[in-house]
Amino acid sequence: MSVDTHVSVLLAEAVAGLAIQPAGTYVDATFGRGGHSRAILAALGPKGRLIALDRDPAAIAAGASISDPRFTLVHAAFSEFDSVLDKLGVTQVDGVLLDIGVSSPQLNTPERGMSFRFDAPLDMRMDTTQGETAAEFLARASQSEIERVIRDYGEERFAHAIAKALVAARGEHGISRTGQLATLVAQVVRTREPGQHPATRSFQALRIHVNRELEELSLTLPRAVARLAPGGRLAVICFHSLEDRIVKRFMRDAAHPPQPPKGVPVRAADLPQPVLKLVGKAMFPSDAEIATNPRCRSAVLRVAQKV
């Protein structure tokens, strides 16, 4: 697999979940390398429209290869969903796809600094044109803040010891490269699950923090639903339990709004009404897909339809 290759996960299942209408308008809010977008375009008719977003400049450059009048690609984070649609004059859409998480090209490109497999600058930003790098965060953050990030976003039980070691190390020589970070964490984390590098959880946590991944997701879900036309579909693919928890709870609460206690006199018309209807059960990659693309093993797809 080349550096710039990305295999779209749950491709057929995600596109099927959107229930494409040939003349509909759809949003692929995480373009990546365009696998899902190309499949959506193939299902659309001549009057259909697809709007894609990505905050990674490399993804935007890759999207230049799609020359289709039905297709619009915008350099923006998916939390900018509303402003992008407003600028394009789009009020409602028939489906939104979110494929959350880091892409293979981002992991496989050393200078992005997202992997401990390479010694490279400790960047980790998905949008390399703006924002604070992981190295800059580690240089200025307090020990308690670093500990919180590693504990909450990495679910790392050694977060306190790791943060303490990182603060001590930066005082001596700074932490500016992935190799430094991986070595420091490995010196602290003596035990780890078989086959997992000691720094896996810390790298994941810093990447999630630098890119505000969970905040972006929490902001975008209600905005996406608000833009859906009645009957429109929201399909979300997650690769991490923290992300999937947000999606699962959001869809569940929108499909089953809280009801008043029994015995409270409330007219049926005044009861909270569901905004979404869950479509099927959560879907996971097949054994065959995992065999050809091991990185997809943690993926889960959830689909809901606007009532």
- Annotated binding-site residue numbers: 34-36, 54, 78, 99, 106
Q: What are phi and psi of 237, to 5 degrees?
A: -110, 125
Q: What are phi and psi of 276, to 5 degrees?
A: -125, 160
> DSSP states of 27-54 as a string?
EES--TTSHHHHHHHHHS-TT-EEEEEE
Any idea which residue has 């590693």 for tokens? 150
25 neighbors 1 (Cβ within 8 angstroms): no
> Per the structure block, which two tokens stand in for 262?
């029994």
* Residue 159 DSSP SS3: helix
Give the closest residue to 109 by CA, choosing from 98, 97, 96, 123.
123
Query: What residues are designated binding site for S-adenosyl-L-methionine?
Result: 34-36, 54, 78, 99, 106
202 neighbors 154 (Cβ within 8 angstroms): yes
Q: How far is CA 25 from the centre of its chain?
A: 22
Pairing of strands 276-278, 49-54: unpaired
Tell me how far CA of residue 47 lies from CA of 44, 50, 54, 92, 295, in angstroms. 8, 10, 24, 15, 36
The neighbouring-strand residues paired with 283 are 301
